[in-house]
Structures are given as C-alpha cells and as structure tokens.
Amino acid sequence: MRARAPASSANLGPGFDTLAVALDRYVEVEVASAPRLVVESRGEGSELNADASHLAAQVAISVLGNDHLAVRVHSEIPVARGMGSSAALALATAAAAGAKDPMAAAVRVDGHPENAAASYYGGLLAATLVHGKPVVVPLDLDPDICFVLVVPDRALSTAKARKALPPTVRHADAVFNLGRMALLIAGLRDHRRLIPEATEDRLHQDYRMPLFPEAPEIMGRLVAAGASASCWSGAGPSLLAICAADKAERVGRAGEGALEEHGVAGRVMLCKADREGLIVGGRSLR
C-alpha cells in the first residue's frame, strides 16, 4: 500500500507543543511484502542508513510484526530542520503498512501530537494530550496566507533543541505566551489582523537562539520585506515567515539575501498550507 503525508510547522512562536500547520511538501511511503527487508529512500533523507535502523523500517516492522518487507520512501521534507519530517514519515509509513491508527504511531515517535495531527488532518490546528490521548481542534486559516521557510544547511535534532530549554518557566512568561497565542490565532484567521508581535515567545525561541545565532537578524529581515510575522519553525533551525500570498516572493528573496549576507548555506522554500492531510491509496481520510 502507498500513503502520503505533508510536512508541518509547529509552535508558530507562542504555541509551544500545541499549534501546527500542514505544509505542501510531502513524504510518500510504499510498504509491500518481500523475502527480506529492503529499504529504499529517494529525495530528502536519502543519505540515511537504508536498513532496519531507518525510521520507516522501524514503524513498518512494529505495525506488521515482521521484517519481510520492502519499504520505499520518497520525501520532499528536509530532515532535522523543524518541518515535522519524523512525524510525517512515521504517519505515512504506519498508514502504508495498514495500521488501524496511524496517527498514534506518529505521536509515539514525537511524544507530542501537534506535528502528527497536522500531517494527518491538514490545515491549521491545536493539539494536545488529554488523559494520554490526542485531542485535536481544527482552526480557521486565512486562504490568502502563505509561508516562507528559510532552511539552513544545519541539522538540529529535536532532542538537542529541547536540551536548550529551562526546566521551569516564570508565571509572567506563561501569561505572555498565552496572550501572544490569542493574537496569533486571530491573525491566522484573518491575515489583516496579524502583527509581528503575535509570534513572540518566551518559552523556547530565545533559549534556542544560540543554536542559530543569525536567526534574529534573518527573522527581522523577513518582516521588513513584508512578512506579517516570523518565528522558528518547530524546534528549528528553519525559520518561518507568515505572509500574504502577494508578498511571498519578495519575502523569499529577502530570506535568500539574508542567508547570503550572513554566510549561511541554505535555501528558501515558498509553501502553502496543505488542507488534505494524509492520503492513503490515493484517497484522503478527511
């Protein structure tokens, strides 16, 4: 069977481990019976080991209970760049292997549900665990919004990014994030209401800046070029600009210029929101 899942950008600034949006970059996985385990990978992540240690192989084996499988992966989602590659891959693989609940398999990989939920349902959403089970709430997303991602050629694992965070946060910082998240949700519903301050955050972004010290300047350049707001994409190091569709190309050029000016190798990706989510056997589950 074959399944496809979109990338995602989580957090969106203040919505730490809660908000995510699906993006129109995809990973497609095919799982079939075979005399022995075969793993083939094309596109993003093709440099990873093509053996039982590959995440797609691990997920397929866990679903089917054996390793007599051919697992073929074709991905457009950069790995370890804050675009939900692991959640999307786990989701697509579990679905291609015939799992009854593919989203549960993806949540187990990430440990939190927002990336997996965005890849499963598509669109913008809030997701959290309630009594250990994912609860997902779709949110309105202005169809005129586009996303510009500045993707440096620097891998950053989620585990390393989480180690940069403090074990506790101040009450004032938690309140600050709640207020900013309310502004953000309103702005994503109507881009005319979205202001740069809506993606400000005190729970994770500032603590991660030393992992990509050029980030504040680059994000500032994106807003100066016309983006309504900018933030880290997930755990980073990719940076996300949220903008009206007619400003996306200009913002993208600003991102390319900022990378070049700072001597940072990388690329810029212009994305729209994916609104279909997981596709299994050519059919949407929505």
Residue type, 247: K
Axis crossing angle, helix 55-64 with helix 102-110, rounded to the nearest 10: 130
How sure is the predictor about 242, in pLDDT bands with cuts at 50, 70 and 90? very high
Does pLDDT of 114 surpass 80?
Answer: yes
Percent of the chain with pLDDT over 70: 99
Query: Other CB atoms closer than 10 Å to residue 24's CB: what's the count?
Result: 17
| Closest to 45 measured CA to CA, from 1, 99, 94, 84 | 84
Q: What are the chain's domains? A: 2-139+274-284 (3.30.230.10), 145-271 (3.30.70.890)
Say which residues have a Cβ less than 8 Å from residue 197's Cβ, sequence separation at least 6.
180, 183, 229
Residue-level pLDDT at 59: 97
How sure is the predictor about 286, in pLDDT bands with cuts at 50, 70 and 90? low
154-211 pLDDT, tens digit each: 888 888 888 999 999 999 999 999 999 999 999 999 999 999 999 999 999 999 999 9
